[in-house]
Each structure stands twice: as C-alpha cells, then as structure tokens.
Amino acid sequence: MIKAIYPGSFDPITNGHIDVIKRASRIFDQVTIAVSQNINKKSFLSEKEKIEAINLSLEGLKNVEVIAFDSLLVDFAKKINAQIILRGLRAVSDFEYEFQLAGMNKHLDKNIETFFLTPSEEFSNISSSLVREILMLGGDISSFVPQKVEKILLSKLKK
C-alpha cells in the first residue's frame, strides 16, 4: 500500500489544492492531508475551521483523510507510515523552494520520497494568500474555492 502525505496550511483550501488531491487519490492508495500551522504566518482560519473546510471539499473521496500535525513533516510521515510527500507546484518560481524542501526531507529521512504534481492549468494561478487578499478587499472568490468553503470564509469575515 502506497501512502502519500500532502502537507500545507490550507488557509483556505482552494480549487487548486482540491485538483491535486483528487488526482493524487487516483495515483496513491491512501492520501493524508496534513494540516500544519505555519509558524511564520498568522492564520485566517483556525485549525478546526481548516479541517472542516477540507472535509466538506473532499466529500466522497474514500481514500483521503485529514489530520492536523505540529511536528517535523518527516516525523509525522513516519508516524502515519507514509512513504511519499506530495507537493504541488504552481509555477517555476515554486520549484526552487520545493526542491530545497525535498532535499532537506530526504536528508532527514532517506526512506521518504517527494512527488511533485502541478495543478490543472485553470488552477495554476490560485493561491491561498491571494484568495484571502481578494476576500478581505471584498472581491468575488467563488471561482477559486468550493461554495461550502466560500460560505465558511464569508461567515468568518463577518465576525
């Protein structure tokens, strides 16, 4: 059984993330969405809200689970017996950083492989930070996130 782990802050999950997850669920036996709190960023959504948004977005995918973690990724991957770290690449500019991460993870655990997937072309320009910015400025985010996620974000904005 090949198990992949797809880490990220998912603040919020976007249609690009969902595209990568759905495609990965056809490649790997099990995909774990690993929700992290990025210590370098202030989150818009709480951990609980992120997990709720992800679960609502992935209804019907039987081989996908969502778990929060707060440790080194390779340690968490070992804990859940994942052999693959899945990373999304939107643009060439992502590659250098992701390549460094892959190398560092390989150094920390030689049994972990990194698998890169690009989102489908229509999702390649979507990022969580841009979605948040558009939301904060009153723009329409409906083409960037699922409707259920949009409702969570709009209700959060009103608080």
Residues taking part in catalysis: 17, 41, 90, 128
* Under 8 Å between Cβ of 12 and 149: yes
The pair of structure tokens assigned to 102 is 């892959």
* Residue 150: strand, helix, or coil: helix
* Residue 51: strand, helix, or coil: helix
* Residue 142: strand, helix, or coil: coil
| Cα distance from N-terminal residue to C-terminal residue, the chain | 44
Which residues pair with residue 127 across a beta bridge?
none
* Under 8 Å between Cβ of 113 and 141: no
Q: Do you find a cis peptide bond into 12, omega within 30 degrees of 0?
A: yes
